Amino acid sequence: MTESIGFTPAWQTASLVSMPTLDLGELHVWWLPLELTEAQQTAAKTLLSDIQRDRYLRRQGADAQHAYLAGRYYLLTLLGAYTGIEAHAVQLSYTRLNKPYLSNRHNDLHFNFTDTRDIKRRHGVFAFSRQHAVGIDIENTNRRNNFQAIAQSRFTAPELEYVNSNGSFCVRRFLAIWTRKEAFGKATGKGINFKMNEQDLCSGDHPELLFFGPDDRAWRQYQLALSDTLIASVVHETHEPLAIKAFNALEM
């Protein structure tokens, strides 16, 4: 039996025609397959900036290029819908550490994007919030890597105890902690460039965690159980809970 970590949101279908309003105090999470029709691919290429087009062309292989293109297509489409402007008019700027943000007047909208691949398809997960920095990360539990070595160098003592608490190293628990650290790094804009082994994000199997960052800013983390093989975390600024609305289908 697969160990359950995190909570499963109440997924909804949304439409660009009747786009859900993102209110202050809400967190919107989108889980979408990174697949495009030929017509959508053509439209997506017209949305790319010079920087994005260069990154698209640098991707190795058709699958990686398609995933990149689909991710940017849905991100720009959703940003356009939330800001009330055309997707092609959405302009992104990047911080020194490559965190994207809106470069136009809609600077109260915070967002983040992550993707992964399982056996069947590529998945993209997007997070949006008003006034609060947000980060999100997703991992596939079938992924293989030297997780134990990573944990030894990047995890705190309580986190190491948690991933080894059943007498053997648990990959699912490792990825739960890892997605929290990745999501926190994305929310702060530092990525993995922070002292992970000094930032304890262990909450056991509890799906929510309140914590403070190195600069004493308050953060709240939610663990999301998407499927038997996909696990994700989303982190937002402030200890106050944001009402999560989750969407897994977008009618264009």
How much is the pLDDT for 178? 96
What six digits make up the tokens of 142?
Answer: 């079938």
CATH number at residue 109: 3.90.470.20
Is 4 inside a domain boundary? no
Is 125 inside a domain boundary? yes
Q: How many domains does the chain have?
A: 1
Sole residue written with tokens 């530092």? 190
Predicted confidence (pLDDT) per residue in 87-99, tens digit? 999 989 888 888 8
Predicted confidence (pLDDT) per residue in 67-92, tens digit? 999 999 999 999 999 999 999 999 89
Q: Which residues contact 174 (CB under 8 A, 6 or more apart)?
A: 147, 150, 151, 163
Is 26 inside a domain boundary? yes
Is 142 inside a domain boundary? yes
How much is the pLDDT for 137? 97
Structural domain boundaries, residue 42 = 11-251
Is 149 inside a domain boundary? yes
Q: List the chain pLDDT tens, one digit each, 252 residues.
A: 456 789 999 999 999 989 999 999 999 999 999 999 999 999 999 999 888 899 999 998 899 999 999 999 999 999 999 999 999 999 898 888 888 999 876 578 999 999 998 878 899 999 999 999 999 999 998 888 899 999 999 999 999 999 998 789 999 999 999 999 999 999 999 988 889 999 999 998 899 999 999 999 999 999 999 998 999 999 999 999 999 999 999 998
Is 62 inside a domain boundary? yes
- How many CB atoms within 10 Å of residue 140? 17
In angstroms, the CA 80 to CA 90 distance is 6
Is 182 inside a domain boundary? yes
Name the strand (E) or helix (H) holding 114.
strand 109-117
Is 5 inside a domain boundary? no
How much is the pLDDT for 182? 96
CA 193 distance to own-chain centroid: 17
